[in-house]
Structure formats: C-alpha cells, structure tokens
Amino acid sequence: MESTPSVGITAFIDILGFGSRVLAAESAADIESIRKSVELIRKTFDHNTGEDLALSNQKLVGAEILAFSDSVIVNIPLESEATKYSGTFDPIMSEIAGFALAQGECVLNGTFLRGGIDLGWWYRDDEIVISQSLTRAYKQESECHYPVISITDSLAEFLETHKDRQIYSQDIDPTRSIFAETQFASKSITFIDYIRICLNSLDWMIDKAQINEHRSATPEEKQRIVSEGYRKKVDAWLTTHATRIREAHEHAPDQVKAKYQWLQDYHNRMAKQYSDNVACICELS
C-alpha cells in the first residue's frame, strides 16, 4: 500500500544495554524474554492502557510507534485530528511530555534510555520507512552520550519560534518546564527534563483510608493531607529512581559508569528541589 510523506517529529529511542542482551541470547526463552521487554517499552511510549480515552487520544494525534531489537521509534505528524482543534504547538508539547513520563516509568523498572528527537519528513508504507527526521534523530541520539532524550537544534528553534508559544506568559512557558540543558564535549544539549515532569505529574492519593479522611476533613486538614500525600509520593519516586541508578552503575562496565555519574548529579539536583529527605539522594560508590 502506497503512502504519502508527512512532516512531524520523530524520536529514536535506544534501550541501553539491550544490544548486548540480544547478542548474548542463545535460546528461544532468551528471545521471548527480550521480546516481552521491548513490547512493554513500546506500550509505555504508546501510552497503551487499553482505556477508551487513551485509544481515542492516540487516534487523534496519529502517532506511529515501531519497536526493534534494542530501540523504539515514535513518529508524530504535525497535521492530525488533534491539531485541527488546538494547532500544532500544544499537541506536540503534550506528546514530548508524554515521552518524559514513559522514560520515567522505564527507569523505575530498571530500563535506561537515550534518545534523539527531530523535526522533518517521514514516509512509511507496509514494508519501508524512509525519514529525514529519523536519520537526524538517530544522529542526535548517538551524540547525546547521557541517558536522556535530547532534541536537535532545528526542533528547538521550531518550538522556540512557534507562533502558538506566544500565548503563554514566561512563567508558564511549556518549553521552560519541559526542557533542560547540559554540556558534553563543549556542546550544549537540550533534553527532556523527565525527572521534573514525572515529579510534577504525581498526585497525592495513596490509599482509600487517606481519601476517606480527606473527604471528611476541614479545609485546613485537607491541605495537610494533600501535601503529605504528595510528599510521600515524591520521596518514593526519588528513592526508587536513586536505587535504579545505583544498580545500573554497579553493573555497568568501567567505560560506561560516567553516564550514570552524570545521571546521579541530575537526580540529586532535582531531589534537593523537591524533597528534604536525605534518603532521596543518590550516592554512588
């Protein structure tokens, strides 16, 4: 079936460590284990909850998600049902924030990712994928070095100068809350600030007892319950994230350990902003 090229953003996501796992696989059970892991990661980026609302949103955005042995590719067209109603800026920024939530979920499950995202044309039919944005996203990922998802300069410029961005005041500008910057080999890298986005997405609800207490509480008590619940969830997220970094660093080859040391620094910066619990700090041996 022939297809028509489209313009959009494409993400190339490398599943760190999976290349070695694939090369070491020698049995059908090994292959099936890898298949299940890759499929789980694909579903995470697909936001595949099975719920009608999630499935409806996927159709509106028009995203395509492809999984390979050690990578996932996501393409989101600029023109879709969603952009007919809200323009191109908000749906694209929402999907990029979704990448952050997917990355956070993967890391908490012990899977670290590195990726690149670019803006350009994309062509796919039943058997062929040809894409300018995919080629540049792959190059961006290979140059990123750190376990984060970074964007190309051309995509950054597109978002910075987008006319729909102008409706936001500086204090609520989504480009400032979704992206962060770092340096590698004297080059500036703009990446998705996944820790901040994940922490900001947490709610306060922990269990039924707490929710029932909130329902019957005074306004002052409600605020206390909400604050305490959110703080507990932040601490739990950060503690688990720190544990996964320590585990990955412990098992990483010497030449790879520096990547997790950088991730430790990024984690600790965020931990100090969101919590005063010392248990949330990541310390590598």
Quick: pLDDT tens for 140-151. 999 999 999 999
Residue 2 is predicted with a pLDDT of 55
Band of the pLDDT at 55, cuts 50, 70, 90?
A: very low
Which of 161, 114, 104 shows the shortest CA–CA distance to 18?
114
* Average pLDDT estimate for 10-37: 92
Mean predicted lDDT score pLDDT of the chain? 91
Q: Average of pLDDT values for 270-283?
A: 98
Region 29-55: mean pLDDT is 75
Percent of all residues in the chain with a pLDDT value above 90, rounded to a whole number: 75
Cα–Cα distances in angstroms (integers) from residue 126 to residues 39, 184, 237, in the given order:
20, 38, 40
Q: Among 237, 239, 234, 230, which residue's Cα sits nearest to residue 205?
A: 230
Query: Can you give the pTM of this predicted structure?
Result: 0.91
Distance CA 17, CA 20 (A): 6
Going by pLDDT thresholds of 50, 70 and 90, the confidence category of residue 50 is very low
Higher pLDDT, 48 or 160: 160
Residues 196-227: tens digit of each pLDDT: 999 999 999 999 999 999 999 999 999 999 99
Candidates 197, 195, 285, 193; CA nearest to 240 is 195
How far is residue 181 CA from its own chain's centroid? 15
Of the candidates 234, 245, 271, 250, the one whose C-alpha atom is nearest the C-alpha of residue 112 is: 245
